[in-house]
Structure 1
């Protein structure tokens, strides 16, 4: 389980730098390029296409429920087939969020939203992978429809006791820990998880609008009901569900950002003026005036600003003009030539760095927003305003995004691809139960809750390659420890991959 605690590391010690200043200039220069600068790798559109295919394939390794005949990750098998049955509800399906066997609603909904957004913006660039990407969206949206079936009375938001689950190391096909079901209701509200679910359903409705109109309509109607529930009964789900979701996926940022995010997606999906009015009337109390410099399953403010800037740039909705200014400030903080650039947010190797645990989740979302905003600016013939007369072109945004993509794929000081199965060197001991244990096909006998720790503690590479998984990534000194116990760096998650799907599609289509 990936936990999110907002803490920052201090800058690196300059002792080594002081020592090397005594060297002759050429030796110092050599030292710099050998030990600090990443190796230069020129990735081609074919490389990005390969990475795109694998990034989508990863989601098949995270599936819960009855697997379809088209399942390509064949070391996985059916799991969680009785989820919800003890509560007289069908909650079979969906995704395991990371390396555990719990189905957490907040990150699953965010994953679905970002997968859908990737298809909406860059689906035309996915070519042969468009259907696989849409299947990945649908696996999430199908489950969220089940979880939302009783809305607006209540919403199911989790399956599995995380504390029991984390005391075991077992395959999802073997799991025998409590499959408790958790829900939010008018008495125990969860506006954050409900509004994110509404956003996911609304975004997915756009994805299937042409290919499956009836399904799209069902998604949108359900999204409206769930959003009404989220808005009418306001409160953070962390307070309602307590230790069931904390410290795993606490709502650190509160629920206000999700309400504005959900309304923004419903506006885009439905084009109904009621959501425009909602955003205008409530935006100031829901984070519209706040600048934030990260985008994650917890904090939606930066993503919302970029999403609403599209309505101004491409649809000339003047009420959203202020959101472009907010988007500019966020985007400019990522651009080295900008007056508002934040160099302390980057490692010496050039990686955007936010926090010590699962840092790549912030890199993939930032990369996606850079490219999405670049697309919006291109359609408008505009640029990002970075203070004074400084303006940054859409091409510059794409170039900065490419540096982050390339770093993840191997252009970094460790010469390590942080996508499993891509390149010559990638993590071998991923913190992931199904990947680290022999598959049911290779070892039919059940592996008990505590027996699995023999594999966890082994130094051997994982027997099943979780192709396409992006792990948490290196530390603030560009170092990576390939150890199964090092979940901060070696655990993958669906919400790390989801925005990267769109980013890879953009570069796969570039020339």
Structure 2
């Protein structure tokens, strides 16, 4: 009897068994690449797969007479190059080391497109040997507005670093991204790889010769992406990549000059002994792993192994997600992925039969499985991956709204592949747009996570899911031109007609904003009044356009009706005379970018 009570107590205290919702890492990898496609800035290519994204910031750099179009933004609309470069370096590294994973997932060509979109932009930003643009857009202006990038109506100035206003952290990271990407392209496109390596070398020389923190030169960045860890880690990081790409011992000496320097324990530039994960700001642990993989030398391997062991044995949430009390409260999934990323990199260089390697792989898989559904909240934190996935992540374009606290509770558009910030310390999660800590998305959130998906595919651990047929699964069903229009006449007298027409869309045709135009026969009717839309416009006296903007009549694709109103005057009288327009042209998501439909 006593024994059975003990067993019952143990069972009650044990964590609940949680079945993984998915271990289809390839499918989640495909979705993550789609997230980056949704963040593209500039003139979009013809093969754009995100139907609600359009050209944006097509004159970026105009204020300084340079072309700074392209690259990526995040959930806001500023192109902060420091975190952007950090994300792209990790992505390029994953492409170099886990190329087979991308290929097996059928995503290699898309991955090259992802990298090229970013690298083409960085090449544009390098306007001189000692001149590098590091930001397009003003953080204060941007964070004071909630509009998709296509609708920006405020200035987006460009900022640069120079020899007299340096930024070794920004330049060092940009160089790392270019050089790492050159290795990813080396086999498929050697000419492009040479171009990236050339720019990477020049930018690194600039970073090393003219030293300083970029946020002292681009002061607007300080309130958003300040370089807290200094720039020594980026100088090591950039040199390590150049050493890997060229084999030039000069770069190894640059690594060792900082690696071997006897920094004090309280010195902010201390390079060895990192106790935290990598981040957009901190490249120490990634440098440990990269140098260990390049050289196999004891001092590098030891430092990387010590750090990896610390990450593997770190505290977690009750459900098992890597969690740091200070860091993880904002973007816990991001930090768990970052902690696992350097562990996976080191594991890639170890003997497959090494017991420690097996421990490392198990740790990595546990973190990813948690993120994609094997967690107490039973949430797949990748948007659009599962019916349980977040539906209200903090993202201007996807929201279909002009305010984080406006519009429908769920985003109008699905931001496929975005990794939501993640749960709290007790595995708790709330899916609301204003929940920045748990529901923000960003370029750096997905970077390490995506790489780990490729790693697990390469490891042979992918378990394909059944075909996803639930409403909203990727690829989404092509919205049908399902538009229901009812004139809803309320009064039809000899001299006038009035009504409150309704518009509704079905079959998944979502319109965050909309317009319609109609042509009336001026011999039979004159429009006395139209109201219910945000704006009205009359062309040639007989063509009328009515538009409804964001947050003023969202059409949900589920048949919910929105109405407007009219008064038509009949100059010649005649009750019952057929005076209504025979056709109406309807524009879903506005008449600037939206698709047009003929409504009979």
Bucket of the pairwise TM-score, normalised by the shorter protein: 0.7 to 0.9
| 1:281 Cα deviation after fit | 2.8
Cα distance, 1:208–1:195 mapped onto 2, change above 3 Å:
same
Q: Which consecutive unaligned segments of at least 5 residues does structure 2 have?
A: 262-268, 462-600
- Cα-to-partner distance string for 1:430-462 (whole Å, 9 max, x where unaligned): 100000016xxxxxxxxxxxxx12x63345210
Worse-matched range after superposition: 190-199 or 392-401: 392-401
Question: Secondary structure of the equivalent of 2:134?
Answer: strand
Contact between 1:38 and 1:411, CA under 8 Å: does it hold in 2?
Answer: no
Task: Please tell me whether residue 301 in structure 1 is matched to residue 279 in structure 2.
Answer: no
| 1:495 Cα deviation after fit | 1.2
| 1:248 Cα deviation after fit | 0.8
Question: Secondary structure of the equivalent of 1:149?
Answer: strand
| 1:26 Cα deviation after fit | 5.6
Cα distance, 1:65–1:38 mapped onto 2, change above 3 Å:
farther
- Equivalenced residues, count: 445
The whole-number CA distance in structure 1 between the counterparts of 2:75 and 2:17 is 29
| 1:37 Cα deviation after fit | 3.8
- Cα-to-partner distance string for 1:250-278 (whole Å, 9 max, x where unaligned): 10111111110110011111111211222
The answer to which structure has the higher helix fraction is 1
Cα distance, 1:214–1:247 mapped onto 2, change above 3 Å:
same
Q: Greater RCO between the two (CA within 8 Å, min separation 6)?
A: 1
Q: What residue in structure 2 maps to residue 4 of structure 1?
A: none
- The counterpart of 2:248, out of the listed 260, 268, 272, is 272
Q: What residue in structure 2 maps to residue 494 of structure 1?
A: 443
| 1:54 Cα deviation after fit | 0.5
Q: What residue in structure 2 maps to residue 310 of structure 1?
A: 293
Q: What residue in structure 2 maps to residue 349 of structure 1?
A: 319
1:35-50 equivalence runs, <5 A:
36-37=15-16, 39-41=18-20, 43-44=22-23, 47-50=24-27
1:28-427 equivalence runs, <5 A:
28-33=9-14, 36-37=15-16, 39-41=18-20, 43-44=22-23, 47-96=24-73, 98-127=74-103, 128-150=106-128, 152-242=129-219, 244-285=220-261, 287-313=270-296, 318=297, 321-335=298-312, 341-343=313-315, 346-354=316-324, 355=327, 356-378=329-351, 383=354, 392-427=355-390
Contact between 1:287 and 1:301, CA under 8 Å: does it hold in 2?
Answer: no
The whole-number CA distance in structure 1 between the counterparts of 2:54 and 2:216 is 35
Worse-matched range after superposition: 267-276 or 286-295: 286-295
Contact between 2:166 and 2:213, CA under 8 Å: does it hold in 1?
Answer: yes
The answer to which structure has the higher strand fraction is 2
The whole-number CA distance in structure 2 between the counterparts of 1:69 and 1:117 is 28
| 1:30 Cα deviation after fit | 4.9
Contact between 2:130 and 2:203, CA under 8 Å: does it hold in 1?
Answer: no
The whole-number CA distance in structure 1 between the counterparts of 2:335 and 2:384 is 21
The whole-number CA distance in structure 1 between the counterparts of 2:109 and 2:254 is 34
| 1:289 Cα deviation after fit | 3.0
Question: Secondary structure of the equivalent of 1:246?
Answer: helix
Contact between 1:292 and 1:301, CA under 8 Å: does it hold in 2?
Answer: no
Cα distance, 1:174–1:190 mapped onto 2, change above 3 Å:
same
| 1:95 Cα deviation after fit | 0.3
Question: Secondary structure of the equivalent of 1:378?
Answer: coil
Q: Highest CA radius of gyration, 1 or 2? A: 2
